[in-house]
Chains A and B, each alone.
Chain A
Amino acid sequence: DGGITQSPKYLFRKEGQNVTLSCEQNLNHDAMYWYRQDPGQGLRLIYYSQIVNDFQKGDIAEGYSVSREKKESFPLTVTSAQKNPTAFYLCASSRRGAYNEQFFGPGTRLTVL
């Protein structure tokens, strides 16, 4: 089955620690995206990548970092510089270019203790 997987489903972190969220897709999509969702909010774009070894900042990139070494994988690191990291994180992928819907993974809920 083709799809997007995210792990872990739930993640707890102590303040001051970096943590990496995994996102893998087997849809052969070039583009991948990371979003953050807070209660009562829509999805806000953190980073996106249109092609391997290239990525751009979204609207709320501060305190986050990404890499895109493989087409299938787009991990997100939440660093200790992120002031309020507790949120629901969604990864998505799509074909490159315009007029392509994005497909979403099941998400990771991160809680900072």
Chain B
Amino acid sequence: EDKVVQSPLSLVVHEGDTVTLNCSYEVTNFRSLLWYKQEKKAPTFLFMLTSSGIEKKSGRLSSILDKKELFSILNITATQTGDSAVYLCAVEAGRGSTLGRLYFGRGTQLTVWP
């Protein structure tokens, strides 16, 4: 069964809207939660979250982690057409020889219309 669940799977908005993407997880030996943006090919790294309640921010993007409720959100304010992409959530979990491996959700396809 899926260890990392993202919602919604697809989202269509207009430029200027604010969106919230969700990621819930259920893993043992949790280490961190990562967000990636995938436009056409290679996913590019956005954030790594390790502590609850501490917001990470980069321009119009921000993210926060709740380790008690096992979820994270990614917010994008004042969306632009260039934000159109698949946003992937990944959870790092494991120990010993499995340290560093990531479990990915299915992604949220965000489309921003002009």
Residues on A facing B (Cβ under 8 Å): 31, 33, 35, 40-45, 48, 50, 56, 58, 90, 94, 96-107
Within 8 A of A (CB), among B1-50: 4, 6, 9, 31-32, 34, 41-45, 48, 50
Q: Is the CB of B97 within 8 A of A99?
A: no
Q: Is the CB of B106 within 8 A of A40?
A: yes
Q: Is the CB of A97 within 8 A of B99?
A: yes
Q: Is the CB of B101 within 8 A of A104?
A: no
Residues of A within 8 A of B105 (CB): 42
14 A/B residue pairs, CB under 8 Å, sorted by A: A31-B100, A40-B9, A40-B106, A42-B6, A42-B88, A44-B104, A58-B101, A98-B32, A98-B99, A98-B100, A99-B31, A105-B42, A107-B41, A107-B42
Bound: A35/B104 CA distance, A? 10
Q: Smallest Cβ distance from A23 to chain B, in angstroms?
A: 12
Q: Is the CB of B45 within 8 A of A101?
A: yes
Q: Is the CB of A104 within 8 A of B42?
A: yes
Residues of B within 8 A of A107 (CB): 41-42
Q: Contact check: which of A42, A48, A94, A97 meets B104 at CB < 8 Å?
A: A42
Name the residue in A40, A94, A98, A104 with the highest tally of chain B Cβ atoms < 10 Å from its Cβ.
Answer: A98
Asked if B58 CB lies within 8 Å of chain A CBs, one says no
Bound: A45/B6 CA distance, A? 18
Q: Is the CB of A98 within 8 A of B92?
A: yes
- When C-beta atoms are compared, the residue in chain A nearest to B96 turns out to be A50
Name the residue in A44, A45, A90, A100 with the highest tally of chain B Cβ atoms < 10 Å from its Cβ.
Answer: A100
Q: Contact check: which of A50, A58, A100, A102 meets B97 at CB < 8 Å?
A: A50
Q: Smallest Cβ distance from B94 to chain A, in angstroms?
A: 8
Q: Is the CB of A103 within 8 A of B99?
A: no
Name the residue in B92, B99, B100 with the highest tally of chain A Cβ atoms < 10 Å from its Cβ.
Answer: B100
